[in-house]
Structure 1
């Protein structure tokens, strides 16, 4: 029976033991929890979409707990897959409460890359009733020879935060593993859990045993208290440009001090370091504040998580490493520094506060600049209107497919026909062609036509009956050492002299340091001393400026929905009264000096500055799309004789500068720019080679890890380039080259958004020629100089930025005032003052040193 979008149970309610447990806590089981129990008794796969704090996790596990309580048995009953190790650990801790309080004979354990070897071995011999793991660990388990024995008793698979995995390579890996679980345990039902879903039908297909959405019951929970979201601006003048939000550090610190527990979310790891350092400089009350991001060591992250769960922290500055599902009920508020870049992402983060469905979560948005104020306003309006955003899941990648094929061969010999049929039960591969499958299998067998003469690429062979086998245990060992789909820029470990490892930074960053240089990491200033094997030896930093490591690909993309809303607010002056006075003045100045971009047109301004001409296009398609479009436009400008000199893309604007004035901008934005120019750029740029290296690493052609040695990023690049050139010359249609071109065109370069933009503004480009920079263009021109600069170059950049504001406003603001308001910091590093060491913090003093970072 369906009522208001919720499936109402038609079978008996909870067993008495469970009813008493709910009553002892003063709770009543929610309708959707009972609906999940009813679906489980019917053996139906389900997708539960419920607001944060609505008891989704308990709803997902409740049928398993009831079944195990009524019918105890030995073996694996339920496997839970989480996108984060921290989430799996947190869920295991929370799940133990009802089990212990009701005295249920149920064993619960986690299995991740951090699980000790002796425990992993014991789990194979005697699996727990409920195992909580990640996509990578699940694939590894399925590659073992005894996987069919371990999973034979499986009755339920719980996929938590499924929206975070669908459409990603980790998701491809997970749903391929799910197709194998369907073969090993056809009786197991699948359960998907999510709070934020923009494409529920697509997710139903991902939960299904056979990629058929109609086979999955959708249980949706309406309502929940609306979140209380406000916008916080700095006390001083609002920056024109910049993205770090450091100008609002005093306001953030006061919000932490006035509240119980606060999570301060940021969008990048570099921003996390900067914000944490800024808060420490203000921490006169010695509040216990911690730092959490993916480049810190596992031990450091775990200590922060444990301290947070134990209520020992007042605040934690975190990236996306903490924005999925972790239930810290004591969190009073969330602070989002910088615009959220997506409505669903904002809802996910806001839901970390309070974590109760019937009470509002409290959040504060801290925009870093004037454009971000508009984006924050659009986000709040979208949340109030109940909107969701995000891209639909894309088809699965062939590189992940290659890894999966080898993993399945490590488990047991297979027939290609059977494996092909099994793989097509995974939603990302439901449309996989036989040609792509056969070519991928051929690559895994011997590398393909161009590489088959090299013995090291031969991993599989076929017997007389057509079954595919691995070529010995060495192949299986290498797969397990290199298994996974997360490919980062080559990293270097940081080790304190005479002390522990602190975490990792990108190899290119270390290559720019000289002995004695300072940089900010793990909430402290470190001094680079020397390279030692594959680690960077560091000490405590001294005086002088400290740089901040940045991480490639860590910036979040602006969603299409929010981009459209920002355009709409700019154009609709009836919505301006909700904006701060400074932003209203900024937009009014733009209307006076130039025009404001309309939602259905592309505004392109052209103006001289110094000895260059600037073209500024207000595309609002996100930084990634703008960077690609900038490359394509400069190629066309070369052909037209405009002498392009460079370009920069922000989330909102594309700016290109050239030696000669572009007198006709229409040809620069024709749709055919995605033809010849795109092909030339893809073939000439290093991006294709970088993409190939990532594809080849996931597919198993390149090995990052090898017994007794660790390959450097430089060695990996050389090997990848050599193989890339061989394949282009001798087998241009090789399956990995096809996968590389597809990913470069459809993913990394955001071609789809560019194509949509060009189609939308066809014959609707508004070309405005100005004699100087416009107010709306100032933030983009500030970005032109945001690369690392040293010494006096910083002052020169600030002076240039102030001059931009002066020009854009006809001198309406005082020059000295402009220096302070253009951007809180034009370089990706803290100001000249060295951050205070965190030794004054009472929590830090009482905790082990590793917990400080």
Structure 2
């Protein structure tokens, strides 16, 4: 097939800017011209987004139109994981569209879009619509969706690595199958800078599993990233902590030297905390902003606009600005705490300069000595071009149920035709007929145990054999409640005049009384009263507490974990570390042993009339939390009288009144069989997982016309249903979905199982007379982390003080 060249208007525009069309941009255009879908993997600053849109721009070039009117209807969908990214792309697309003179209308659509504009977009869509997976799914729930998308030529999925492997990816995969049925010739394009497993993403992108229809495009290599690890001036790398606040003076100096500095944190709590610390140090009153997902839309847009105009000297942000936002004037990126993955670090580093021919500069600020090792491992991976990422897993049944309901809202459907459509995606190719019938039964009646209740009857099969809504009101209720992201229970933070600053967790707000103070949105706020779902506040100069956000702990990737373990085992390589870190490891090696790949180190020692055991698992915080629960249960059965445990990404520390003489029976792989099942069923984990799948599937509604349920009301409703299903229908569709979540996401059970299998072959158990150097970081978190129910909290608070003294004692030995 002869490939048409790019229209001269586009090549002239590139030339006028002093640019050349890069090979991967041309390859993306060529793939579209030959009828291929395409996956582009290219470094940040390589012009990925423009590459994805080149076929669209070409279709509207005057020379191609040849005097004809531009095509009517929706031409291209752009799917972004972030609303901020969609708005940024719109701003950047307008430049070539206006300068070339293309007759293109571009609009965004998200939860922030006014309802009148959303309605108009369904009747008179723009040529390019920039949206999110959730907003696309909602569009597909309208009766006019088939007509709306019939003209669709192209879908561009940006930063595909950020969501394709999760439930948002499941929802998008289902939406893509629907779009393909409306527009059979639609072409798919996906873009990313950080894919560790591109072949898996090609398979995910391919319709009907036809991977040969997906062209793999690899971008030109950019300038290597310039990454450095910050060390304390004249001080030691801290034993414990993860905030890196010791570096505030040095970071402020960096901000003062640069035009713009972007500071990333791993949690919203830490973003507020670091912002306050920087503001305390801000003697020159430099303009410093803050950005995270709990802030109001107005606050986020204000900050984004200020950054785009170059008005801020620094911005403290979370993952809300990880992806693709193009602010080319950023001189330096600072990562507070360990990055938890090489791909995540590479993504964040790429926010600096945002140009392929210039190195992006980044500074890593480790909070403690283990985080220094993790930062070093991440830096090495970035230097070597090694990326990590999550594997794909079967699509969630709760997401499938939501999609079926969306299809029913759009109009009657034939179950076999819809099943064939659903199976055309990688995420749901596994769905057999019996699973499909269970999904239909659930959407229709709620399942066997709930079918007697009319409110769960949403669809019915009519005499002609097609499924349709039982009542039109169900469509409105679906659109009010559909979505994948189930936030923690939140309340609005408002001034007395009604202006919203954003949201904080309901449980945090419930603990506040009039007169209490807290820091939020970069302000010190004083509580005036709680009114319904609003926390009414006023600005104050009083000292403030910090809101604590749950559920946002970033997981340590298996790739980075393996690198840190290899680093510990490479004694010859310790010479490149700072003296205090090197001496810390040498002292550990002399006094005890070192963790190593394929070997589990377990240390036991007495301290303050209790007995401690530390397991160096390197499987991440989630898995270590699960293991702590299971080990303490076994210890109780063996009469070892456990008192509690703490965990971090690298290790688990358990203490009790009696010593552990042999850890092997506590770690046998069968701990993940019956004991795991019993523990999960009787813990909050499965209930929390059930709450999320019940909301996603539409069984429990958060929103009603003019009213939103509180988090407590949702929890109460889901708990009631959970208890019924657990007793009468334990194999219910949602119980299956909740178990899948509890295993794969909340407990990282796969990683934990692999570690226990290895431990069964080689455990190194070392008995010591006092705390080891490697154990100090995790033990210093005692009193800072929440303790499991039933622990001796009072005794442990006292223990924290003596452990700090032990840390100082080890420091003196090292010196």
Whether TM exceeds 0.5 here: the answer is yes
Counterpart position of 1:210 = 208
Write out per-residue CA displacement over residues 580-617 of structure 1, whole angstroms, 9 at most, x where no aligned residue: 11111111221222222222211101111113211101
The residue correspondences of 1:498-577 to structure 2 (distance < 5 A) are 498-544=497-543, 546-577=544-575
CA distance in 2, matches of 1:603, 1:723: 43
Counterpart position of 1:464 = 463
Counterpart position of 2:317 = 318
**Matched residue SS, 2:718:** helix
Q: In the TM superposition, what is the alpha-carbon distance from 1:640 to its structure 2 partner?
A: 1.4
Q: In the TM superposition, what is the alpha-carbon distance from 1:796 to its structure 2 partner?
A: 6.4
Runs of at least 5 residues in structure 2 that lack an aligned partner in the other structure: 788-793
Counterpart position of 1:436 = 435
CA distance in 2, matches of 1:588, 1:341: 25
* Structure 1 stretch displaced more, 678-687 or 792-801: 792-801
Q: In the TM superposition, what is the alpha-carbon distance from 1:550 to its structure 2 partner?
A: 1.9
**Matched residue SS, 1:509:** helix
Residues 110 and 502 of structure 1, relative CA distance in 2, 3 Å threshold: same
Write out per-residue CA displacement over residues 38-64 of structure 1, whole angstroms, 9 at most, x where no aligned residue: 111111101111111111100000111
Q: In the TM superposition, what is the alpha-carbon distance from 1:499 to its structure 2 partner?
A: 4.9
| Correspondent of 1:778 among 776, 779, 784 | 776
The residue correspondences of 1:732-811 to structure 2 (distance < 5 A) are 732-787=730-785, 799-809=801-811
| Correspondent of 1:190 among 165, 174, 188 | 188
**Matched residue SS, 2:363:** strand
Residues 599 and 811 of structure 1, relative CA distance in 2, 3 Å threshold: same
Instruction: Identify which of structures 1 and 2 has the higher relative contact order when contacts are C-alpha pairs closer than 8 Å and 6+ apart.
Output: 1
The residue correspondences of 1:816-835 to structure 2 (distance < 5 A) are none
Counterpart position of 1:153 = 151
Counterpart position of 1:43 = 35
Counterpart position of 1:345 = 344
Residues 709 and 297 of structure 1, relative CA distance in 2, 3 Å threshold: same
Counterpart position of 1:662 = 660
**Matched residue SS, 2:590:** helix
**Matched residue SS, 2:761:** coil
CA contact (8 A) 2:782 2:800 kept: no
1:265 counterpart = 2:257:
no
The CA RMSD measured in Å over matched residues stands at 1.7
CA distance in 2, matches of 1:306, 1:392: 36
Q: In the TM superposition, what is the alpha-carbon distance from 1:183 to its structure 2 partner?
A: 0.4
**Matched residue SS, 1:783:** coil
CA distance in 2, matches of 1:643, 1:794: 15
**Matched residue SS, 2:536:** strand
Residues 510 and 170 of structure 1, relative CA distance in 2, 3 Å threshold: same
* Structure 1 stretch displaced more, 315-324 or 463-472: 463-472
**Matched residue SS, 2:412:** coil
Counterpart position of 1:374 = 373
* Structure 1 stretch displaced more, 491-500 or 478-487: 491-500
Write out per-residue CA displacement over residues 400-436 of structure 1, whole angstroms, 9 at most, x where no aligned residue: 1110000000001101111111011122111122222
Runs of at least 5 residues in structure 1 that lack an aligned partner in the other structure: 1-8, 814-853
**Matched residue SS, 2:262:** strand
Q: In the TM superposition, what is the alpha-carbon distance from 1:198 to its structure 2 partner?
A: 1.0
Counterpart position of 2:21 = 29
CA contact (8 A) 2:600 2:616 kept: yes
Counterpart position of 1:823 = none
Q: In the TM superposition, what is the alpha-carbon distance from 1:517 to its structure 2 partner?
A: 1.9
1:89 counterpart = 2:87:
yes
1:125 counterpart = 2:123:
yes
Q: In the TM superposition, what is the alpha-carbon distance from 1:639 to its structure 2 partner?
A: 1.5
* Structure 1 stretch displaced more, 115-124 or 688-697: 115-124
1:397 counterpart = 2:389:
no
Counterpart position of 2:676 = 678
Residues 797 and 350 of structure 1, relative CA distance in 2, 3 Å threshold: farther
| Correspondent of 1:631 among 629, 632, 641 | 629
**Matched residue SS, 1:353:** coil
1:239 counterpart = 2:238:
yes
Counterpart position of 2:288 = 289
Residues 319 and 227 of structure 1, relative CA distance in 2, 3 Å threshold: same
CA distance in 2, matches of 1:194, 1:811: 48
CA contact (8 A) 1:460 1:471 kept: yes
- Relative to the length of structure 2, the TM-score reads 0.96
Counterpart position of 1:327 = 326
CA distance in 1, matches of 2:756, 2:796: 37
**Matched residue SS, 1:149:** helix
CA contact (8 A) 2:584 2:814 kept: no
Residues 677 and 171 of structure 1, relative CA distance in 2, 3 Å threshold: same
Counterpart position of 1:688 = 686
Write out per-residue CA displacement over residues 25-78 of structure 1, whole angstroms, 9 at most, x where no aligned residue: 001111111111111111110111111111110000011110122232111111
CA contact (8 A) 2:643 2:656 kept: yes
**Matched residue SS, 2:263:** strand
CA contact (8 A) 2:608 2:799 kept: no
**Matched residue SS, 1:210:** helix
CA contact (8 A) 2:780 2:804 kept: no
Q: In the TM superposition, what is the alpha-carbon distance from 1:646 to its structure 2 partner?
A: 0.9
CA contact (8 A) 1:82 1:135 kept: yes
Q: In the TM superposition, what is the alpha-carbon distance from 1:453 to its structure 2 partner?
A: 0.5
* Structure 1 stretch displaced more, 421-430 or 287-296: 421-430
| Correspondent of 1:614 among 609, 612, 620 | 612
CA distance in 1, matches of 2:718, 2:34: 51
Q: In the TM superposition, what is the alpha-carbon distance from 1:631 to its structure 2 partner?
A: 0.9
Write out per-residue CA displacement over residues 325-365 of structure 1, whole angstroms, 9 at most, x where no aligned residue: 11111111111111100000111111111111121111111
* Structure 1 stretch displaced more, 573-582 or 317-326: 573-582
Q: In the TM superposition, what is the alpha-carbon distance from 1:804 to its structure 2 partner?
A: 2.2
Counterpart position of 2:51 = 59
**Matched residue SS, 2:742:** helix
**Matched residue SS, 1:537:** strand
Q: In the TM superposition, what is the alpha-carbon distance from 1:747 to its structure 2 partner?
A: 2.0
| Correspondent of 2:602 among 604, 629, 633 | 604
CA contact (8 A) 2:524 2:542 kept: no
Counterpart position of 1:256 = 255
Q: In the TM superposition, what is the alpha-carbon distance from 1:788 to its structure 2 partner?
A: 7.8
CA distance in 2, matches of 1:684, 1:577: 48
Q: In the TM superposition, what is the alpha-carbon distance from 1:204 to its structure 2 partner?
A: 0.8
Q: In the TM superposition, what is the alpha-carbon distance from 1:211 to its structure 2 partner?
A: 2.9
CA distance in 1, matches of 2:437, 2:661: 52
Write out per-residue CA displacement over residues 555-598 of structure 1, whole angstroms, 9 at most, x where no aligned residue: 10000011111111112111112211111111122122222222
CA distance in 2, matches of 1:806, 1:154: 66
CA distance in 1, matches of 2:323, 2:656: 44
CA contact (8 A) 1:589 1:809 kept: no
CA contact (8 A) 1:229 1:364 kept: yes
CA contact (8 A) 1:462 1:469 kept: yes
Write out per-residue CA displacement over residues 256-285 of structure 1, whole angstroms, 9 at most, x where no aligned residue: 111111110110000000110011011111
Counterpart position of 1:141 = 139
Counterpart position of 2:593 = 595
Write out per-residue CA displacement over residues 119-144 of structure 1, whole angstroms, 9 at most, x where no aligned residue: 11221121111111111110111100
CA distance in 2, matches of 1:761, 1:799: 33
CA contact (8 A) 1:518 1:542 kept: no
CA distance in 2, matches of 1:34, 1:590: 55
Residues 101 and 542 of structure 1, relative CA distance in 2, 3 Å threshold: closer
CA contact (8 A) 2:518 2:546 kept: yes
Write out per-residue CA displacement over residues 285-317 of structure 1, whole angstroms, 9 at most, x where no aligned residue: 111110000000011001100110111111100
CA distance in 1, matches of 2:519, 2:584: 34
